[in-house]
Chain A
Amino acid sequence: MSNLTFMPVLWPLFTGIFLIFFAKKIKLQRGISLFSSLIGIAISLYLVLTVHKQGILTLGVGSWDAPFGIVIVADMLSSLLVLTTNIIGFAILIYSFYSIGEERERHYYYPVFQFLLIGVNGAFLTGDLFNLFVFFEVMLMASYVLLVLGGTKIQLRESLKYIIVNVLSSSFFVIMVAYLYSVLGTLNMAHISQRIAEVNQPGIISVIAIGFLIVFGLKGAIFPLFQWLPGSYYAPPIPVMALFGALLTKVGIYSIFRTYTLLFYHDQDFTHTFLAVLAILTIIIGVIGAIAYWDVKKIIIYNIIIAVGVIIFGISVMNEQALSGSILYIIHDMLIKGALFLLVGIMIKISGTDDLRDMGGLIKQYPVLAWTFFIAAISLAGIPPFSGFAGKLLILQGAAESGAYFGMAVVLLSSLMVLYSVMKIFMNGFWGTSKIDYVLPNKTVNKMLVPAVLLVIISVLFGVGTESIYPFITQAVDTLMNPDIYIKAVLKE
């Protein structure tokens, strides 16, 4: 029964391996992926409920107890993120059926899709630092293939840059693991945390903390390390872009969550102030990008960077409100970014261009698309009944409590600019008069709309029902605020 903890990783692994055997039978591939994706959601939902009932679940792989074996740890934060990942995977999978094209589907698109899910779920669930590195590589390798699959010129060019940046950051990860191992002599996260607490974080540990921030910042696109993101995310087809935008950067943020609450929390004056400054700069850069462009894809891509900044700011404040705000916001942001990329993809498919200045008047022919986009846009900005509100409110409350007023002001102003950037899409794309002939409503467009509407509905429910989800969030925050709970669950003292 305790194997449940590892099922979100094993299930897509089996599916992915199975799918490789029938690469040319597209109908079968779609059927199996869809079925597997539904089971995946069921498994992760069950995992969330079990963790809620029983507390943190741990699984020592091969019955070797921590710290000697690899431990899989499902606490509330991990299992909530795994559930969100599976829901987004499901929606993007359905979207892929209608938009990715047969040529790509025949060349192992669905197996690689499953391998990406393995990497992401594994990174959320592992309790071992080197194992985290391995799951990062699984995720990145799948993302390289998805990014370049199809082989157009822009994809080849941007894949080269993306891979070189990630090879660099992976080497840096290995280097930091080596340093940490030489100081503490262990790789299990709970054991590392315990040993850091014993030596009370001397200077060398703070240096390693900043090193890990550089590694995870490269994956998660924080301020000085974000330059690879706008180009790389611009290149792949829309479903892949949605998958990257919703999941990949969030794994980096989750790792910052984990390391900065579980391992390196003893010298907050230094590490967390550093984090706060970078977060504020990230928000500012993201805002500048989001309002500068007239390209719909670019606007949403820079909105990813803004959200990364907001979540990291919540982590840097490091009190109960801000952390629960960050958790609410990361889940909201995964859902809504997935939805926005899918919606923007439909706009581009209909109008044949991604330049806002050439669009206009879409609302006459596509009212459902328009109003879904409108709801997604105001959720993104954080208008009260919708999902972005509660997270940001709690982050702001937390910041006010600890006196980080400047950061508070930046987050508030950034919401305004986010609203401006997405309303720019809405007003220029959907209102006014049409400047080009659009593809008239047809079956494919309607079917593509289904997963996007599904994601928006889930995120609206998430916003309206924050009250009923809140016990889960509190449980996640408890573990983050008191690392002892985590350590006790893993080391079983």
Chain B
Amino acid sequence: MELLMAIVIGILFMCATYLMLSKSILRIIIGTGLLSHGAHLLILTMGGLKGGSVPLLSNKAASYVDPLPQALILTAIVISFGVTSFLLVLAYRTYQELGTDDMEEMRGTKANE
């Protein structure tokens, strides 16, 4: 199971890297989304995927899955959620001000300032 997850996460990272190296801002932001999905799935996988009950004490199971990675993922998800929404609004403002979504055109020339 872990091997399968590792391969899937690898593919996510591959797609994210490819998208982040492209010219359009939106593609880059989609790339960052895929990258954080990959990172979150990786925490889950690295915490171990052995069977067990959901971490609720009322279940009274013999064994539970590790609760710590789930808390870490929850934290990381809301953080990347906040950053992504900021990034999207920033991209929108940049498009309004600079009139382009092409990273190649956002150079440090005098005309662009």
Contacts and interface: CB of A to CB of B under 8 A. Distances in A.
A226 interface: no
Given A141-B82, A168-B20, A177 B43 contact: yes
A151 B43 contact: no
The B contact surface, by secondary structure, is helix
Interface string B13-54: 000000010000100100010011011101101111000000
B91 to A, nearest CB: 7
A114 B58 CA distance: 42
B106 A157 contact: yes
B39 A231 contact: no
B90 A181 contact: no
Nearest to A181: B46
A141 B25 CA distance: 20
B20 to A, nearest CB: 7
A141 B79 CA distance: 9
A175 B87 contact: no
Interface stretch (A159-167, A326-334, A402-410, A466-474): A159-167
> On chain A, which size bracket covers the interface?
20 to 34
A374 interface: no
B69 A181 contact: yes
A174 B39 CA distance: 6
Contact of B106 (A160, A175, A178, A187): A160
Contacts of B86: 141, 144, 163
Contact of A130 (B25, B38, B75, B80): B75
Contact of A156 (B46, B90, B108): B90
Contacts, number: 100
Interface string A174-210: 1101110110000100000000000000000000000
B113 to A, nearest CB: 5
Contacts of A175: 38-39, 42
A164 B108 contact: no
B76 interface: yes
B4 interface: no
Given A141-B86, A163-B83, A179-B46, A130 B72 contact: yes
A154 B94 CA distance: 10
A187 B69 CA distance: 11
Contacts of B45: 178
B99 to A, nearest CB: 10
Output the residue of A137, A167, A170 with the most chain B CB within 10 A: A167
B75 A181 contact: no
Nearest to B106: A157
Contacts of A163: 83, 86-87, 90
A174 B97 CA distance: 33
A153 interface: yes
A78 to B, nearest CB: 23
B98 interface: yes
Nearest to A183: B46
Nearest to B94: A156
A134 B94 contact: no
16 contacts: A144-B83, A144-B86, A152-B113, A153-B112, A156-B98, A157-B108, A164-B28, A164-B87, A167-B84, A168-B32, A170-B79, A178-B45, A178-B69, A181-B69, A182-B47, A182-B48
Interface of B: 20, 25, 28, 32, 35-36, 38-40, 42-43, 45-48, 68-69, 72, 75-76, 79-80, 82-84, 86-87, 90-91, 93-94, 97-98, 103, 106, 108, 112-113
